[in-house]
Amino acid sequence: AQSVTQPDIHITVSEGASLELRCNYSYGATPYLFWYVQSPGQGLQLLLKYFSGDTLVQGIKGFEAEFKRSQSSFNLRKPSVHWSDAAEYFCAVGSGGYNKLIFGAGTRLAVHP
Amino acid sequence: GAVVSQHPSWVICKSGTSVKIECRSLDFQATTMFWYRQFPKQSLMLMATSNEGSKATYEQGVEKDKFLINHASLTLSTLTVTSAHPEDSSFYICSAVERGRETQYFGPGTRLLVL
């Protein structure tokens, strides 16, 4: 069955520290992978996506993610976290834009000053 | 680009009434729109897939007669919660896919409270 696992429900980091949010997926075909961010009471904003090609993808707000097929992972990273990065982060997998996305449970990020 | 709006942003209604939520793609044509439901501190649950000019496809367990979806044009889809009850209170989010593209863009969501 298709699924997305985000092992960390809640992460707290200090401002300026590096960040890595984990995402593992189970998908039969070649996956389309996404990271979205949701601020409180808001919809989802696309951070980055991977369809094919270079396995290290750059996104907005200084985020990047690396697709590792052998590990079925698509972890999100940021070298230096800002207080404004505090939000909920969702990893999602799909087979294309016209097909439904499967979301992970989300990781809530808190940033300490 | 790729902006999706929802209206209203929040609504309070009495039990038994119907509520309509609009989802619009502002700067692109969306052949496909999705409707999600999100409970507090939980992930998004897909309710239905809406294709312009055709009937929506509902996910298992979603009552199609309760959650009416109409995708009347390439820029507008509506979700009507009929005979709303307190358990329908939730955060409803839509997304839209631009023709020929592969990415879903999300609206800001509509918070529904049924009293």
Question: Do residue A90 and residue B44 have CB atoms under 8 angstroms apart?
Answer: yes
Which residues of chain B lie closer than 8 angstroms to A104, CB-CB? 43
Which residues of chain B lie closer than 8 angstroms to A98, CB-CB? 31-32, 97
Which residues of chain A are modeled with pLDDT < 70? Answer: 95-98
Question: Do residue B102 and residue A43 have CB atoms under 8 angstroms apart?
Answer: no
SS3 of B66, please?
Answer: coil
pLDDT value, residue B24: 96
CB-CB neighbours of B68 under 10 Å: 16
- Give the closest-approach CA distance of B14 to chain A in angstroms: 22
Asked if B49 and B34 count as a contact pair (C-beta separation under 8 A), the reply is yes
> Is the pLDDT assigned to residue B18 strictly greater than 90?
yes
Tell me the per-residue pLDDT of B42-92, one tens digit each, with 9 for 90 and over: 888 999 999 888 889 999 999 999 999 998 889 999 999 999 999 999 999
pLDDT value, residue A80: 97
pLDDT value, residue B107: 94
pLDDT value, residue B76: 94
The closest CB to that of A32, out of B43, B59, B102, belongs to: B102
SS3 of B65, please?
Answer: coil
- Give the closest-approach CA distance of B87 to chain A in angstroms: 19
pLDDT value, residue A98: 56
The closest CB to that of B108, out of A43, A46, A97, belongs to: A43
Question: Do residue A43 and residue B107 have CB atoms under 8 angstroms apart?
Answer: yes
Percent of chain B with pLDDT over 90: 71
Which residues of chain B lie closer than 8 angstroms to A32, CB-CB? 102
Asked if A88 and A35 count as a contact pair (C-beta separation under 8 A), the reply is no
Which of the residues A5, A42, A44, A95 would you substitute to probe the B interface, choosing the one with the greatest number of B C-beta atoms within 10 Å?
Answer: A44
CA angle A16, A87, B104 (to 5 degrees): 120
Which residues of chain B lie closer than 8 angstroms to A101, CB-CB? 34, 46, 104
pLDDT value, residue A94: 84
Per-residue DSSP letter, B59: P
CB-CB neighbours of A9 under 10 Å: 10
Helix, strand and coil content of chain B, in percent to the nearest 5, comes to 5, 55, 40
Closest chain B residue to A48, measured at CA: B103
Q: How far apart are the C-alpha atoms of B84 and B108, rounded to whole Å?
A: 21
**Cα B87 to the chain's mean position, in Å?**
17
Total residue length of chain B? 115
- Give the closest-approach CA distance of B24 to chain A in angstroms: 14
CA angle A27, B52, B57 (to 5 degrees): 45
